[in-house]
Amino acid sequence: MEDYVPLSVLRMVYDSSRKLYSLRIMASIRPSALAEITSVFAKHNINILCIELGARSTSDERGTAFLVVDFTKSAMDVKQIIKELEGLPSVLEVKLMDPSIPGLIIDTGHFPLIIGPWRGIIFRVEFSSTLSKALGEN
């Protein structure tokens, strides 16, 4: 196993041949919450392509999971799965982030980017060096 694995912050998935959806799930923070949620997907043959978990602080009693899921091999409808998820003891809210183009998932739920207590912006290296030069000239 490698010591370092690159993290893509693009948060975009596209495959027009797949039935892709993204969900944002608000849940109570407790030891079995993640297992309850992922077991629903496993039970219905739904593949989890991406999962991002987090709470704003260690004292939070609830956290958010952002998932990109693939329903291609499942007989279930996304609305049926949402209803089942909403019935779990840990789940407080489920939001379907409908793709505007079938097969295209863009994570619009994680905004703004927060780095510690500050809002952040990410630039490509090429842009930041150009910006640095432009600011130095003024």
Average pLDDT (105-133) is 76
Q: Is residue 18 assigned to a domain?
A: yes
The end-to-end CA distance of the chain, in Å, is 47
- 21 and 96 in contact (C-beta within 8 Å)? yes
Within 10 angstroms of residue 41's Cβ, the number of other Cβ atoms is 22
Q: How many domains does the chain have?
A: 1
Q: Is residue 104 assigned to a domain?
A: yes
- CATH number of the domain residue 93 falls in: 3.30.70.260
- 107 and 10 in contact (C-beta within 8 Å)? no
Residue-wise pLDDT tens digits, 58-112: 788 999 999 999 999 999 999 999 999 999 999 999 999 877 788 888 777 666 7
pLDDT on residue 91: 98
Q: Is residue 133 assigned to a domain?
A: no
Q: Is residue 82 assigned to a domain?
A: yes
Within 10 angstroms of residue 109's Cβ, the number of other Cβ atoms is 14
Tell me the whole-structure pTM to 2 decimals.
0.76
pLDDT on residue 68: 92
